[in-house]
Amino acid sequence: MLLEGGHQHSGTGVSASAFQRHHSVHSPAEMQERDPSFMESVHIATQGPGYGPSYANSTRDFIMRNRGFGDSSPASDQHSLLRTMAGSLHHSHVEGQGHGHLLFPGMHDQHHGSANVLGGRLGLPGEVFGRADQYHHVSGPRSDPYGQYGAMGLNMGMAAHHHHHPAAFFRFMRQQCIKQELICKWIDPDQPGGASRCCGKTYGTMHELVTHVSVEHVGGPEQSSHTCFWEECPRENKSFKAKYKLVNHIRVHTGEKPFPCPFPGCSKVFARSENLKIHKRTHTGEKPFMCDFFGCDRRFANSSDRKKHLHVHTSDKPYLCKMCDKSYTHPSSLRKHMKVHDSLSVADTSPRASSGYESSTPPGLVSPASETQSNMSPDSAVLSSGHSNLSSNFNMAAYMITPTLQRVLLAAKHASFQSRCCVVSSRVQYSTVYDANEKTFDKILIANRGEIACRVMKTCKKMGIKTVAVHSDVDASAVHVKMADEAVCVGPAPTNKSYLNMEAIMDAIRKTGSQAVHPGYGFLSENKEFAKRLAAEDVVFIGPDTHAIHAMGDKIESKLLAKAANVNVIPGYDGVVENVEDAVKIAGEIGYPVMIKASAGGGGKGMRIAWNDDETREGFRLSSQEAASSFGDDRLLMEKFVDHPRHIEIQVLADKHGNALWLNERECSIQRRNQKVVEEAPSTFLDPETRRAMGEQAVQLAKAVKYSSAGTVEFLVDSNKNFYFLEMNTRLQVEHPITECITGLDLVQQMIRVAKGFPLLHKQEDIPINGWAIESRVYAEDPYKSFGLPSIGRLSQYQEPINLPKVRVDSGIQEGSDISIYYDPMISKLVTYGATRAEALQRMEDALDNYVIRGVTHNIPLLREIITHPRFISGDITTNFLPEEYPEGFKGHQLTSEGRRELLATAAALYVSAQLRSQRFLGNLRVSTAPQERRQWELCVELEKGMHTVAVSRSGSTFTVEVDGVKVEVSGEWNLASALLPVTINRIPRVLQCLSRDAGGEITLQYLGTQFKVRVLSKLVSTLSSHMPEKVPEDTSSILRSPMPGSVVSVSVKPGDVNSLIAAKAAKVKSVHCKAGETVGEGDLLVQLE
């Protein structure tokens, strides 16, 4: 701080007028005589931040001793110091032009060129002043009679009216030049008690102290005990599990911070690399922690902020200010609020203020601060009512809401309220409340794998329930295994030996002491025998009872029950179809087309559509085999196939007290091979009357079978809005997240509550439709083969689009995970939501573009084509959407002329950007062959067997590419090494993905969801390549390869068999390269002909 002549600056307390026109040393008495306020000024000057008021000498001693300056070494007898002034030291020139200065000891010597100054350095470690650009002028220009400090920007020479305060010196001096005394307070546990136990060694630098502690106390790898023995360590000799944790902990005592922020302009340093990682997110904008509340898109840089935010959804404010009636969701918010009372207590010195009360505070609420102040002196009591006592050192547990107030708050769960950060609707949004006082189960075993196991575990964690995962040998390192509190292996990879192995799962339940089992979907989720075995061992099955599972799981019986409950059903045969000939006869009676489907199970397995007798025979055989292998039940039924229908289902929720609700509908008409691909809620097709009628019939059926859990009643709806009961799934559906998004309910939590016996807290009128939600099932499939044949492999690169707003990803895999042939190839469920359907669709489009999957073939190209298809956008969809729109199969995105120009221009811009980067790299290496950077290029770009000549010019980060006479602007600060390439094409932002790039100019780009191979060449290389012979493709007409990975069920040929089929040419089996029971991959050679 600098003192202007005749003025006193805040924080210094020294009047410049007290030092005007002095050329000799004055004693304190003389100064007091000249200026009566002198000692008062000195007194104020010595009160530093965080310290109480003290006298001048003590403050001066504190500053000098702790900063390591000691006494000044006068340069000559002509100089002397006014030692009694704390914080500002005045010296004068006995000879010369009398300029008065306020200087620091040590600075005085350098100011005048003392012998202590060697080579421009003070007799202290490090530079005193450092580089000129590290310091700032703290006031206007000052005179520098000695001309020594102008270049440094410090202007140490000052006129008589201007003085330099030590605070300015400390503020602008490098930290390493401050000499410190660092004492090791490590206690030797082998020595007897007393003061002598403390190490007590003193060091001048942090590095010396840290080295000493690490070598002499912490020890090397041979040290097995990792306990901190630092004096007054709050851990109280509790050992750490690893040495590195002890080393990190010791930094709390030593103050070491070895991790500096690498970003320019940021000077923060951290004790732990984890803290640096969190801090760097403030620069990068990364927010990896997503709010787990369904319907909320908020993201946070660290987990503590997310935890604080979650109280917004629960309306739980457990931190109560006992000095007023306000409550807060987080301790930090309460501490900020306490500052209001701090200011009031400073202004009001009455006992009421000093004890931490306001007039409206009930006497029964006593703050921790007030309990301790009775033993304080009056002066101390006034000071203790400040922030340091109330806001920093109070007992947070004492400020928690009382049980009575807590019960009042928890009563809010019985009435709907709107979450403060979710989609706002005209209707009231009901938000899930996770009540920690509502006791359910201590431990739940999840009898499933993958994303649904992870989904259940997330809710269990919110409810404070421990989880147990089961896994096969190949799933030992799966994500759901890592998420669980415990994990048990239940067998080898095949499902019938692991996840369908009831005996192994029962053993896992006994071993872990699990109180309940959540089956997820698939596997044993609708197996009544499994539910019976659990009930026999007093383990709760989180789902309906065995009666409901049996009644609704058997499609024949469920159809009869639906009729009895006055639910609309599809015309068909009510019994079991015994054999193929009966199937043909029944199909003729019903009338083609007919649907042949398994009586047990679901998920589109064991289902075939037959349009004639031959297809009926083939469909019966295949459906029977698939039903037996998938569900262990080969019974089939037949019914009339409703052509051009919509598949719409109603989510129901019922408890054990006779209450049942319908939670609106889900549109599931986009299917391939009777399996859903894209779902949305609500449906664009239903009107309120039809929705209500379907919901009421679904509830009627649930009550008829005394259903108690979450379930789904599926309907087929024709073009006239006539609906027919299809089946009831007595489990959690794959697509349940979209219902959670529009209602605000956590269905997994509701299932757990109902299984424990709690009644539903909602009424039918509480269930809203808030906004719109769409789900895309991301599969490891090749969409170009029958709309999706499975693909296997390892995810070499995986990045979910979680940084986008209103995007939810339910997955059970990570980068490095394997997609195997043994299980469903689902990668994740991608959910987007918004206030309108158009908003949800746009977010889905962005999310698919930002979804990075490498290592396996995936169906994102198909998903993106579906959601951007004009017919889907208009809502005109049926279950035949895919075969109707892609009769020849899916071929990927078909480029328009505009899209072709965009892709060509982007590829050319990327190529030029890569060339410029290489040139700059060569230039930095000072390679003589590095060419000068150009600004115009003429290139040849090959796309889909067509060659295009393009002209590229560059201005900054913008490339102007002329393609077929049309100019396209491409701009963006992209990183060619990144998986995502955000670009702006003609001012339209897009996200592309660069899948591969080679030295030959070939770039594989994912553009609008589809992969395109683009080849960019210079004109010279293009001319030369035209003379190269074309590569002749391999003749594959005589070989048969596997179209997908799987197991060989049977081999009906052997070497020497003659091909008697109608074919392009006659052939004989030359060799067979597989046998029954073998596992083959996609493209593996099966049979070779000659």
Note every long-range contact of 400-408, with CB atoms under 8 Å and residues 24 or more positions apart, other chains counting: 400/318, 400/319, 400/320, 401/317, 401/318, 401/319, 401/320, 401/327, 402/320, 405/320, 405/327, 406/318, 406/437
Rounded Cα distance, 414 and 438, in Å: 13
**Contact, 875 vs 838, CB < 8 A?**
no
Q: How many whole angstroms separate alpha carbon 524 and alpha carbon 495?
A: 11
Cα torsion 930, 935, 937, 942 to 10°: value is 90
In Å, what is the CA distance from 1056 to each residue of 109, 948, 1035, 1089?
A: 106, 51, 21, 9
Least confident range from 302-316, 669-683, 949-963, 1016-1030: namely 302-316
Tell me which DSSP letter residue 958 carries: E
Contacts of 327 (CB under 8 A, 6+ apart): 317, 318, 319, 320, 321, 401, 405
* Residue 1070 pLDDT class (50, 70, 90 cuts): confident
Q: How confident is the model at residue 393 (pLDDT cuts 50, 70, 90)?
A: very low
Contacts of 470 (CB under 8 A, 6+ apart): 445, 446, 447, 448, 449, 487, 488, 489, 490, 498, 499, 504, 505, 508
41, 18 in Cβ contact below 8 A? yes
Query: What whole-number distance in Å separates Cα of residue 752 and Cα of residue 747?
Result: 9
Q: How far is CA 358 from CA 50, 82, 244, 351, 497, in A?
A: 27, 48, 48, 11, 69
Summarize the confidence of residues 791-797 as an average pLDDT.
92
The 3-state DSSP class for residue 157 equals coil
Q: Compute the distance between CA of residue 25 and CA of residue 45 in angstroms, rounded to an integer.
A: 20
Model confidence at 141, pLDDT cuts 50, 70, 90, reads very low
CA separation for the pair 907, 995 (Å, rounded): 12
For residue 188, which amino acid is it?
D
* Phi and psi, residue 996, nearest 5°: -160, 155
In terms of Cα–Cα distance, which of 805, 1004, 787 is closest to 889? 787
CATH class of the domain comprising 1035-1090: mainly beta
CATH number for the domain whose boundaries are 260-286: 3.30.160
Q: What pLDDT, on a 0 to 100 scale, did the predictor assign at position 1066? A: 66
In 103-199, at which residue ranges do the beta strands (DSSP E only) sit? 163-164, 182-183
147 Rama sector, left if φ>0, alpha if ψ -120 to 50, beta otherwise: left
The answer to whether residues 679 and 738 touch, using CB atoms and an 8 Å cutoff, is yes
User: Is residue 990 within 8 Å of 849, Cβ to Cβ?
Assistant: yes
Q: Decide which of 326 and 56 is more confident.
A: 326
User: Quick check: do 571-641 and 1035-1090 share a fold?
Assistant: no
CB atoms within 10 A of CB 13: 21
Q: In the structure, what pLDDT confidence band is assigned to residue 32 with cuts at 50, 70 and 90?
A: low
Give dist(CA 579, CA 697) in Å, integer.
34
Compute CA 476 distance to the chain's CA centroid, rounded to the nearest angstrom: 24
Q: Which helix (H) or strand (E) holds 550?
A: helix 546-553
Distance CA 186, CA 228 (A): 8
Torsion (CA) 618, 623, 628, 630 in degrees, nearest 10: 140
Which of 248 and 446 is assigned the larger pLDDT?
446
pLDDT attached to residue 283: 81
Higher pLDDT, 126 or 179: 179
Q: pLDDT band for position 301 (50/70/90)?
A: confident
Q: Which CATH architecture best describes the domain 182-255? A: 2-Layer Sandwich (3.30)
| Residue type present at position 312 | V
At 194, list the tokens: 């007393």
989 token code pair = 């932002």
Q: Taking a C-beta distance cutoff of 8 angstroms, is the pair 122, 130 a contact?
A: no
Judge: domain 643-885, CATH 3.30.470.20. Answer: yes
For residues 647 and 669, is the Cβ–Cβ distance under 8 A?
yes
Cα(206)–Cα(258) distance, integer angstroms: 10
Output 1070 or 749, whichever has higher pLDDT.
749
* C-beta separation of 937 from 1003 below 8 A: no
CA distance 1031 to 1036: 15
What is the rounded average pLDDT of the residues 383-392?
Answer: 35
Give the span between the Cα atoms of 987 and 843, in whole angstroms: 19
Please state which of the four CATH numbers 3.90.1150.10, 3.10.520.10, 3.90.1570.10, 3.30.1490.20 is assigned to the domain occupying 571-641: 3.30.1490.20
Helix, coil or strand: residue 28: helix
Q: State the distance between the two ends of the chain, measured CA to CA, in whole angstroms.
A: 96
The radius of gyration of the chain's CA atoms, rounded to the nearest angstrom, is 39
User: Could you check whether the bond before residue 403 is cis, i.e. omega within 30 degrees of 0?
Assistant: no
From the list 820, 744, 810, the residue with the least C-alpha distance to 456 is: 810
Euclidean distance between CA atoms 668 and 553, whole angstroms: 20
Domain boundaries, the chain: 1-179, 182-255, 260-286, 319-400, 443-542, 571-641, 643-885, 897-1025, 1035-1090
- DSSP structure class, residue 409: H
Position 124 pLDDT exceeds 50: no
Which of 672, 731, 753, 1015 does the annotation list as catalytic? 731
Say whether the peptide bond before residue 593 is cis (omega within 30 degrees of 0): yes
Estimate the crossing angle of helix 450-462 against helix 747-756, to 10 degrees: 70
Q: pLDDT class for 117, splitting at 50, 70, 90? A: very low
Distances in Å between the Cα of 344 and the Cα atoms of 336, 338, 350, 1004 are 14, 10, 11, 67
pLDDT of residue 769: 92
Residue 444 has pLDDT above 90, yes or no: yes
Length of the chain: 1090
pLDDT at residue 446 tops 90: yes
Could you give the percent of the chain with pLDDT greater than 70? 70
Give the DSSP per-residue string, 474-542.
Answer: GGTT-HHHHHSSEEEEEESSSGGGTTT-HHHHHHHHHHHT-SEEE--SSTTTT-HHHHHHHHHTT-EES
CA distances from 913 to 294, 308, 756, 997 (A): 42, 44, 62, 13
| Residue type present at position 692 | R
Tell me the per-residue pLDDT of 563-581, one tens digit each, with 9 for 90 and over: 999 999 988 887 788 899 9
The answer to whether 974 and 913 have CB atoms below 8 angstroms apart is yes
**Whether 229 contacts 189, CB under 8 Å:** yes
Global confidence as pTM: 0.60
Identify the pLDDT of residue 960. 94
Flag whether pLDDT at 297 surpasses 80: no
What's the CATH fold of domain 443-542?
Answer: Rossmann fold (3.40.50)
The two three-digit tokens of residue 229, written as one number: 């023995």
> Is pLDDT at 812 greater than 80 in this prediction?
yes
pLDDT tens per residue across span 256-291? 888 888 887 787 888 878 788 888 887 877 777 877
Pairing of strands 772-779, 793-794: unpaired
Res 233: pLDDT:
85
Q: Do 295 and 280 touch, CB atoms closer than 8 A?
A: no
Tell me the C-alpha distance between 751 and 137, whole Å: 67
If one counts every other C-beta atom within 10 angstroms of the C-beta of residue 134, the result is: 13
Q: How many helices (H) and strands (E) does the chain have?
A: 32, 47
* pLDDT value of position 1005: 94
Token couple for 452: 């649904």
Binned at pLDDT 50, 70 and 90, residue 324 comes out as confident
Instruction: Give me the pLDDT at residue 218, please.
Output: 81
Is 731 a catalytic site residue? Answer: yes
- Helix ranges (H only) for 858-956 are 860-867, 870-874, 881-885, 897-924
Average pLDDT, the chain: 75
Strands 2-3 and 789-790: unpaired
Q: Specify the fold of 897-1025.
A: Glycoprotein, Type 4 Pilin (3.30.700)
